[in-house]
Structure 1
Amino acid sequence: MSTENGQARGPALRILQLYPEQMNIYGDWGNTLTLQRRAQWAGFEVELLEHEIGGQMPSDVDLVVGGGGQDSGQVAIAPDLRRHGAQLREWAEADVPMLMICGSYQLFGHVFVPAAQDAGSEPLQGISILDVETRGSAQRLIGNLTVRTEQFGEVVGYENHSGLTSLGPDATALGRVAPFGEEDSTAGGNNGADGTEGAISRNVIGTYLHGALLPKNPVLADWLLGKAVLHRTGEDRYRAPEIDESITREARRVAMSRPR
Structure 2
Amino acid sequence: MTRTTQTNTRVLDIVSLYPKDMNIYGDTGNVKTVELRARLYGYEPRIHAYNVGDAWPEQVDLVLGGGGQDKGQAVISDDLFARADTLRQLAADGVPMLLICGLYQLFGEYFETHEGQRLPGIHVLGVHTVGQDTRMIGNLVEKTEQCGAIVGYENHSGQTIVHDDGTQPWARVENEGTGNNGSDFTEGARKYNVIGTYMHGSVLPKNPQLSDFLIRTAAEHRYGTFEPTSTAEQKVQLDKLNALAQAAFDVASTRPR
Task: Provide TM-score, normalisation by structure 2.
Answer: 0.91
Shift of 1:9: 7.8
1:50 maps to which residue? 49
Task: Tell me the CA shift for residue 198 of structure 1.
Answer: 0.4
User: What's the counterpart of residue 123 of structure 2?
Assistant: 128
**Alignment partner, residue 254 of structure 2:** 257
* 3-state SS of paired residue (1:15): strand
Q: How many residues align?
A: 243
Aligned twin of 1:165: 160
3-state SS of 1:215 partner:
helix
User: 1:144-178, CA deviations, whole angstroms, 9 ceiling, x for partnerless residues?
Assistant: 00001111110000000001100001221111111
- Once residues 91 and 28 of structure 1 are traced to their aligned partners in structure 2, the CA distance between those partners, rounded to angstroms, is 22
The SS at the match of 1:166 is strand
Q: Give the alignment's TM-score, normalised by structure 1.
A: 0.90
For 2:9 and 2:51, the matched residues in 1 are separated by 28
Residue 239 of structure 1 deviates from its aligned partner by: 7.5
The answer as to whether partners of 2:128 and 2:162 remain within 8 angstroms in 1 is yes
8 Å Cα contact 1:64-1:98 kept in structure 2? yes
State the 1:59 CA deviation.
Answer: 2.5
Q: Which residue of 2 aligns with 1:81?
A: 80
Alignment partner, residue 33 of structure 1: 32
Q: Unmatched 5+ residue regions in structure 2?
A: 1-6
Within 2, Cα distance between the matches of 1:174 and 1:97? 14
**Separation in 2 of the partners of 1:89 and 1:239?**
32
For 1:90 and 1:236, the matched residues in 2 are separated by 22
Q: Distance in 1 between matches of 2:227 and 2:221?
A: 10
The aligned amino acid for 2:124 is I
CA contact (8 A) 1:11 1:232 kept: no
| Distance in 1 between residues matched to 2:154 and 2:253, nearest whole Å | 13
Q: Distance in 1 between matches of 2:122 and 2:229?
A: 33
* 2:210 equivalent among 214, 220, 235: 220
Distance 1:239 1:210 in 2: 30
Return the alpha-carbon distance in structure 1 between the equivalents of residues 95 and 207 of structure 2. 20
Take 1:198 and 1:155, find their aligned partners in 2: how far apart are those partners?
A: 12
Q: Which residue of 2 aligns with 1:188?
A: 178
Task: Verify the 8 A CA contact 2:161 2:180 in the aligned structure 1.
Answer: yes
2:172 corresponding residue in structure 1:
176
Does the aligned pair in 1 maintain the 2:18–2:51 contact within 8 Å? Answer: yes
| 1:146 counterpart SS class | strand
Give the Cα–Cα distance (whole angstroms) in 1 for the partners of residues 178 and 256 of structure 2.
Answer: 10
1:246 correspondence with 2:236: no
